[in-house]
Chains A and B, each alone.
Chain A
Amino acid sequence: MAEEVDARGFSCPQPVLMTLSKMREMGTGEIEVLVDNEVSRENVSRAAEGQGWKVDAVMKEAEEYRMLLRKQ
């Protein structure tokens, strides 16, 4: 079961910082991150990859993005 980070309504860098905090807390596993703009999606992806997490899927729903991040 993935942990969720709902970063909708936040502007950068907060979605990144919220995701990084969750990654630090979990170490490994699955995180679902919700953001509501393209810039946040890009920044969260970049930060996740930089921390060794894989962006497994990005689903666009209306103006929002649901991202699935995974680290074994």
Chain B
Amino acid sequence: MSLLKRIRKSFGTDPGSKPGHGRGISARGILIFQHTSEVIRAETLLKLAGFDVAVKGPPPEIRTGCDLAIEFPVISQLKVLQLLQQERIRPLHVLPLQDVLLEPVNLFHAKDFGDYLMVRAANMKITLSKADLRIVNVSGGGCPDVPYLADQLLGKRLDEAPEPRSLGSTLCGYALQLAFEELRRRCPG
């Protein structure tokens, strides 16, 4: 098979492919990992290296639970994979992003309770006392590290609290990090 044909096939634009299966070539691809902790590490590394990446919920057909995927520019695939390999992070799959709609994880919902402000990101909620910018509640999730994360953050001022990313390695920790960043953005102190 020629290289061009292989590329077309992998992107679902092979003229010989079945009707209805042809999807437009996308400039984005997705990396699927075995563990959420790898997603978090990979995202951090890739962002530090300047790649335009985003964490998303994988498309339903490849989802295995509450897992995450990293969307990346296909044009940088080689460099992205080289960087991950250097750091001994091995994605389970590297897929072209066709017309599948990925769910962004960083959808925020904020609720003002008067004296308190709550921000939810995905499955995690974090609530802050507006008067002194102290974290009064961390809830949600269902991951085993949520009680630990709550314990580490509760009662601390937003500017002195450790980043959830540095404490947890589950989807809940990741979502909490996003909510934490959003709170910091909204309440710079």
A interface, size bucket: 10 to 19
Are A17 and B151 CB-contacts (below 8 A) given A12-B137, A12-B140, A39-B139? no
**CB of B113 to closest CB in A, whole Å:** 6
Nearest CB on B from A11, distance (A) = 8
Q: Is the interface of A mostly helix, strand, loop or mixed?
A: helix
Docked Cα-Cα span, A17 to B127, in Å, equals: 9
User: When chains A and B are docked, how far (Å) is the Cα of A50 from the Cα of B138?
Assistant: 13
Inter-chain contact count A-B, CB under 8 Å? 42
A21 to B113, CA, bound (A): 11
A16 within 8 A of B: yes
* A16→B147 contact, CB < 8 A: no
A46 located at the interface, meaning its Cβ lies under 8 Å from any Cβ of chain B in the complex: yes
Q: How far is the CA of A20 from the CA of B155 in the complex (A)?
A: 12
B125 touches A17 (CB 8 A): no
CB-CB < 8 A to A13: which residues of B? 113, 116, 118, 125, 127, 136-137, 139
